[in-house]
Amino acid sequence: MSARGRLEARSEMRLSRSSSSLRGSVLSLLLLLAASAKAQQAPATRTDPTEANALNAVFANFGLNIWPPWFTGDPCAGAATDGTDISSNPNMNPGIKCDCSYQNNTVCHIVELRMYALNLVGRIPEALRNLTHLTNLNLNQNYLTGPIPSFLGELTALQYMGLAINALSGSIPKELGKLVNLISLGLSMNNLNGSLPPELGNMVKLEQLYIDSSGLSGPLPSSFSKLTSMKILWASDNDFTGRIPYYIGSLNKLEDLRLQGNSFDGPIPTTLSKIVRLTSLRIGDIVNGSSSLAFISNMTSLNVLILRNCRISDSLASVNFSQFTGLTLLDLSFNNITGQVPPQGLLSLDKLGYLFLGNNSLSGSLPSSIGPSLKSLDFSYNQLSGNFPSWVSQKSLQLNLLANNFLINTSSNSVFPSELGCLQLNTQCFLGSAQSESFAVDCGSNRSISDSEKSIYQPDAAALGAASYHITGASSWGVSNVGKFAESPNGSYIIYSSRQFQNTMDSELFQTARMSPSSLRYYGVGLANGNYTVTLQFAEFGYEQSQTWRSLGRRVFDIYVQGERKEQNFDIRKAAGGQSYTAVKKQYIVPVTRNFLEIHLFWAGKGTCCIPTQGYYGPTISALSVTSAYNVKQKNNKTGVFVGVVVCAAALGLVVLTGLYVWRQQSTKLSLEQQELYNIVGRPNVFSYKYGELKMATENFSSSNLLGEGGYGSVYKGTLTDGSVVAVKQLSETSHQGKKQFIAEIETISRVQHRNLVKLYGCCLEGNKPLLVYEYLENGSLDKALFGNGRLNLDWPTRFEICLGIARGLAYLHEESSIRVVHRDIKSSNVLIDTDLNPKISDFGLAKLYDDKKTHVSTKVAGTFGYLAPEYAMRGHMTEKVDVFAFGVVVLEIIAGRRNYDDKLDEDTAYLLEWVWQLYEENHPLDVSDPRLTEFNGDEVLRAIRVGLLCIQSSPRQRPPMSRVVSMLIGDIEVPEAVTKPSYVIEWQSNNRGSSSSEPRAEAMSASPFLSSVIDEGR
């Protein structure tokens, strides 16, 4: 019986016992009571029917009960309307919140919908479009698939929308730009594609944008400059390209900015210095361009600063770190930071707990004191030396000093293990004295394991942290880790699983693994020189094999062996066919030439950060083994073969012994030559070709394969047995400078890598004609493309990109690479063009390594007529400005489509530099442009002409550095209109006026000491 029925029954009993005189009044009272009761039972408000049906459809779409326990009937009742906060209450998930203030408090609209981390599977239901009053939609951490529906743009009341950590695909619909009231948008960790729609710039109230690990690409749209309310922008782990926009500096309310793991070009814009409210800044993995640290000087509110792998060329002294009083973590690793570690300021900060300065070019000694909070300090892979201060012995401090110039002797053994000396620069243990030919490690394990092939894997249970290393007592192998897991105070560097693994007979090997948030290295020490088989074994077990949000993680990293990148963006689960708990094996044949091997797993900002937990990312490895390739072959030989060889050797007798002796003598000589060259070069991966192999590839160096000739020798096209095409440069027997150039070329180009530098594959030392093997570029050299018989039709945009590419390559050589290189022979014939018409600087035979501390180097002049800077031609003074001058000449050649000197032209135009200056002074600079350029951007051509004129100034001080040249070419920096005419041009013109019109121009110009001093060394 209902409450109302019970009330009426009791009333009737009371009425039968009352007197008739009271009947009327009592009846009236009962009617009032009944009306009151009815009013109490009838709902005062109710959910809008359309929204109630939509909500029911949404729940039904995912198979959820529309009536969770806390609903009391109508959806907008109970906790949906009271003050209960559903955003963090696990008992109210799924949950809604309603606003019942509509139509005189009689109609409720659903304003919040929470379906968080429920592993919902399927598409976003279309019924959501009817919840038009939603201000908060939280669908984070599910397994939603399909595209983001464009109808979400109709929910214009939305202020918070979370679609992060799902499996959504497709592009972001431009209709989302209609959500002009949006404050927070979360699209992180999805499988989207395409670029960011410019329409998102209409979300002018947006304060938080999370698009990290979402699969997006292209440049950041210029319309984002309107997002001036932005406080948090996470955009790491995508494929965003182009420059980091200058307008980012105008978003001065930003507090947290993350731009790691993209394909941004440098330099980092200096306008970021305006964002003084930043508490967290993370930028990394810049593709090219050089940056300084100056832009951070005003960011004194920072708590976390990560500028890792950003191509920063600067010194720590350029920033007053003493003002960064709140800084807790600083990571400037993998840059080109030079100079000394400041004795005061940085290391003395009170709150600084983690400092990563590894893989730079720091020199000098360690400072005498550090701050009270420092827990982890990474100085590995620098040039530090000297004595150890007392603080290095603090027990609570993790300190990584591998690969520096410290001398570990008996006095320092009490602080560091003596084995640390085995991993210092140029002091490797057992150099020239082999101790072993193999080792194997079960990464993260605390016990030895024998695999199915009876190989013994040593334990690797050392408790490594954010800046630490371990070297085995026998000094046969070691391991080093650098990096702190973000947002994870207790991040684990060893992970475990008791599951059985597929695709292996050695499942036990994969039940532990080392994991690193930045850089994990394993070393082999004291190995016999020769080729080795390196086997790396992986298995992914952090991500579930199911349709849940925990399966959506991606682990991505790079693999280097002996300094050469073997895998880029390596994804263990992808390599296993999308499967977790499945073994993946990678094998590489690599040379060991200095008794030392390095395996490096490097996180380049790619992959998800927070699945299944915060701080779960970066390289991981389960096991590794290193075995002499010679021994591997010997294992497979049969005993009978060995016996047969012995019998044959006995029968052949003296003939075989004589042959072995001759072979041994030749091999020893070759080994010594290789060792000597390697000691100069420092690169173990350039001795990879046999003379017979290259002879066959070039058809015995046939003239039909000849690509070009010079003083160094000849260059041939070759086709290797695997079908790959290479360029083979052969040293001429008659070249007096050949061997020096050969060494210079390997020494330089094997230590620098850039997309605008030609790639060296290897070399061959056999015979009396050493060979260099390069990548083959089918379009040949720039001079042939511009001036040759089969010249290419290069339009202006292509020519401009060629200018820009050459400039970027030189900026890298001068300012960004780990060594400072002056090419000394920049000219159009030393720039090669690939299939996509990208330029690559080649021919490093005259290159010089340059000391930053020297203002110039005096050297014998070498180079090519027409490209030599005056100070170099006349006095032999060499700086990087020698290359800047030559670049200016090349730029003008590219614009004009002609060589810098052409005796077939009239006297007034034969010399390009003089002719350009004449046209520039006459205010007709564009007349110098190639007549074949039927269409071009006049402003861009004029800018390039002015840049060229700046580069060919008489004084090296007046020529801009190449990083500034790049900025001027792309328009980030204005090019001055007033350019001084060089003195040598004035001299040329004066000599020309003083000579008769019939006098040969070459004689008039030879009066210049600049031209008469030109030496063409080896060419």
Tell me the percentage of the chain whose pLDDT exceeds 70: 79
Task: Say whether pLDDT at 13 is over 80.
Answer: no
Q: At residue 11, what is the residue type?
A: S
Known binding residues for ATP are 729
pLDDT per residue over 434-468, tens digit each?
788 999 999 999 999 999 888 999 999 999 999 99
Annotate 153-190 with b (16+ C-beta within 10 A) or e (fewer). bbbebbbbbbbbbbbbeeebbebbbbbebbbbbbbbbb
Answering whether pTM is above 0.75, one says no
Write down the catalytic residue from 48, 571, 825, 930.
825
Q: Which pLDDT score, from 0 to 100, does residue 42 have?
A: 44
Known binding residues are 729
pLDDT per residue over 232-249, tens digit each?
999 999 999 999 999 999
Task: Say whether pLDDT at 1014 is over 50.
Answer: no
pLDDT per residue over 735-774, tens digit each?
544 555 666 667 666 677 788 888 888 778 766 677 888 8
Q: Which pLDDT score, from 0 to 100, does residue 302 have?
A: 97
Q: Which pLDDT score, from 0 to 100, does residue 658 have?
A: 54
489 pLDDT band (50/70/90 cuts)? Answer: low
Task: Say whether pLDDT at 19 is over 80.
Answer: no
Q: Which of 403-407, 538-542, 585-589 has the lowest mean pLDDT?
A: 403-407
The distance of Cα 126 from the centroid of its chain, to the nearest Å, equals 39
Structure tokens at 85: 């906060």
- The β-bridge partners of 398 are 376
pLDDT per residue over 284-321, tens digit each?
999 888 889 999 999 999 999 999 999 998 899 999 99
DSSP letter assigned to residue 307: E
Q: Which of 374-378, 548-552, 966-970, 972-976 has the lowest mean pLDDT?
A: 972-976
Q: Which pLDDT score, from 0 to 100, does residue 665 have?
A: 55
**Which residue carries 């379009």 as its tokens?**
779
- The β-bridge partners of 377 are 355, 399
CB 355 within 8 A of CB 377: yes
266: closest CA among 284, 290, 282? 290
Q: Which pLDDT score, from 0 to 100, does residue 475 have?
A: 64
Tell me the percentage of the chain whose pLDDT exceeds 90: 49
Q: Please, what is the average pLDDT of the chain?
A: 82
Q: Which pLDDT score, from 0 to 100, does residue 765 have?
A: 72
864 pLDDT band (50/70/90 cuts)? Answer: confident
Measured between alpha carbons, how far is 838 from 804 in angstroms, rounded to an integer? Answer: 10
Provide φ and ψ at 152, rounded to 5°: -60, -25
Measured between alpha carbons, how far is 513 from 524 in angstroms, rounded to an integer? Answer: 19
Q: Which pLDDT score, from 0 to 100, does residue 928 have?
A: 92
**Phi/psi zone of residue 636: left (φ > 0), alpha (ψ -120 to 50 degrees), beta?**
alpha
The CA angle 708-681-534, to the nearest 5 degrees, is 105
Q: Which pLDDT score, from 0 to 100, does residue 949 have?
A: 93
Measured between alpha carbons, how far is 1001 from 1015 in angstroms, rounded to an integer? Answer: 20
Q: Which pLDDT score, from 0 to 100, does residue 32 have?
A: 37
633 pLDDT band (50/70/90 cuts)? Answer: very low
CB 112 within 8 A of CB 96: yes
pLDDT per residue over 663-703, tens digit each?
555 555 545 545 555 444 444 444 457 888 888 999 998 98
Task: Say whether pLDDT at 362 is over 60.
Answer: yes
Measured between alpha carbons, how far is 962 from 815 in angstroms, rounded to an integer? Answer: 8
Task: Say whether pLDDT at 643 is over 50.
Answer: no
CB 633 within 8 A of CB 533: no
pLDDT per residue over 40-80, tens digit each?
444 567 899 999 999 989 998 888 765 555 555 788 988 88
Measured between alpha carbons, how far is 544 from 552 in angstroms, rounded to an integer? Answer: 8
Q: Which pLDDT score, from 0 to 100, does residue 44 have?
A: 64
Task: Say whether pLDDT at 250 is over 60.
Answer: yes
**Phi/psi zone of residue 473: left (φ > 0), alpha (ψ -120 to 50 degrees), beta?**
alpha
pLDDT per residue over 273-288, tens digit each?
999 999 999 999 998 8
Q: Which pLDDT score, from 0 to 100, does residue 517 have?
A: 95
Beta carbons within 8 Å of 743's beta carbon, 6+ residues apart: 677, 680, 681
Three-state secondary structure readout of 771-787 = EEEEECCCCCEHHHHHH
**Which residue carries 């083959």 as its tokens?**
776
Q: Which pLDDT score, from 0 to 100, does residue 3 have?
A: 41
Cα four-point dihedral sign 189, 192, 198, 199: negative
Beta carbons within 8 Å of 503's beta carbon, 6+ residues apart: 576, 582, 583, 584
- Is 852 a known active-site residue? no
Mean of the pLDDT values across residues 481-490?
85
Task: Say whether pLDDT at 530 is over 70.
Answer: yes
Q: Which of 149-158, 234-243, 843-852 has the lowest mean pLDDT?
A: 843-852
Task: Say whether pLDDT at 6 is over 70.
Answer: no
Task: Say whether pLDDT at 227 is over 90.
Answer: yes
